[in-house]
Amino acid sequence: MPTAKGGKTEGSGEIVFNQNLSSTPVEQGFFDQINFGLKIDKATEAKADARHFEVGLQFRKTFLFHQAKIRAVRDALNSTPTGALTVNDTNTGVGLKTGITSQDPLLIINDLQKDFFRSLYFDNAFKFEGDINGFSVGNVSNLVYDAQFQVTTVARGIGKQAGFWNFRWIPVGIEAGYNLKNADDKSNEKHSLARIKTGAVFSLIYRASDPNSFLNRVEFDTQAVNRFLLRRENVFDEKTKKAILLEKGSKYWVQSDLKFLFGPKTPMGMVGIKVGFRRGWLPPVYAFNKAFNIGLVFESANKDTSKEIKLK
């Protein structure tokens, strides 16, 4: 919870829910993932309240880099009999960074692990943006099409695979849509929206070797995005407490969270403590935020990605 001026304790809450609705193998189908997302970010203290509600569907297409190496290793693994002590050589030789050509799958995997970026995501989303005001999410509301490219690394191991880190870079994205309502300023509603954005996300995760350890997992996430508003949009006025200002140009958002999750893990998930910092503006009303907060966090069981395959 953030602390306001004068020592008054304020309340805040953040709900993030993501659910994969459909997945197909990469390189098959027009999209290989369909995801549902919901985010609520609300607080009672002025500069800690993003007044942000977002819900929508995302359609993702994945493009793998270094496909020749990946296909060669995959085919070698598929051709190796179950229980074999060694993996079969690849059908064809693959050029490595050392300048040699090899059919040894272990050498190819080792060479593949040296590649920093591993894939490109092309995300297309349709979402509803709302201003959380009391029990309403439609005081100011937008319908938005969101398209972006993300260049990603694999989850790279730290130490003896006790932890890993991941980096995603958003070189460019566009958000285009329509304002459905602005109860604060009826003279400036029902107009088109256009934004260009860029950003990055860095994640660092450490997990205990014993799943029953008291401190089960530590996670650090930091993300930054800058939206450039090509058309004027309504911005929250702290004096009147309404979205009546009209602005365009850059609106950035920076958020960092450090989570300590305590075990043992249950079928429902884990509880923990989260310390966070945020600064900047989020649509649809762009209420300025600058706050530290600390509070309890509950993470559902399907959020744990520690069992995913990771490469050093």
49-58, 133-142, 236-245: the lowest-pLDDT one: 133-142
pLDDT higher than threshold 90 for residue 136: no
Q: What is the mean pLDDT of residues 138-160?
A: 87
Higher-confidence residue: 96 or 308?
96
Cα-based distances in Å from 142 to 133, 185, 199, 222, 282: 15, 14, 22, 26, 13
Cα-based distances in Å from 47 to 8, 89, 140, 185, 254: 14, 60, 19, 22, 14
Q: Is 78 left (phi over 0), alpha (psi -120 to 50) or beta?
A: alpha
Note the pLDDT tens digit of each residue in 85-117.
888 888 888 888 888 888 888 888 888 877 888
Lookup result for tokens 């819900």: 55
10-65+115-303: CATH topology is Porin (2.40.160)
Q: What is the mean pLDDT of residues 67-80?
A: 85
Q: How many helices and strands, by DSSP H and E, does the chain display?
A: 2, 14
Specify the pLDDT at position 236: 93
Contact criterion met (CB below 8 Å) for 34 and 58: yes
Lookup result for tokens 């359609």: 59
Which token pair is 256? 């960092």
pLDDT higher than threshold 60 for residue 44: yes
Specify the pLDDT at position 7: 44
Note the pLDDT tens digit of each residue in 260-305.
998 776 777 788 999 999 999 999 999 999 999 888 888 776 654 4
What is the Cα Rg of the chain in Å?
A: 23
Confidence class for position 12, pLDDT limits 50, 70, 90: low
Going from N- to C-terminal start, the domains of the chain cover: 10-65+115-303, 68-109
Which token pair is 303? 């959020």
pLDDT higher than threshold 90 for residue 82: no
Percent of the chain exceeding pLDDT 70 equals: 91
Q: What mean pLDDT value characterizes the chain? A: 86
Specify the pLDDT at position 311: 32
Specify the pLDDT at position 243: 92
Write the DSSP string, 257-273. Answer: EEEEEESS--SSEEEEE
Specify the pLDDT at position 215: 87
Which token pair is 111? 């060479």
pLDDT higher than threshold 60 for residue 126: yes
Q: Note the pTM of the prediction, 2 decimals.
A: 0.82
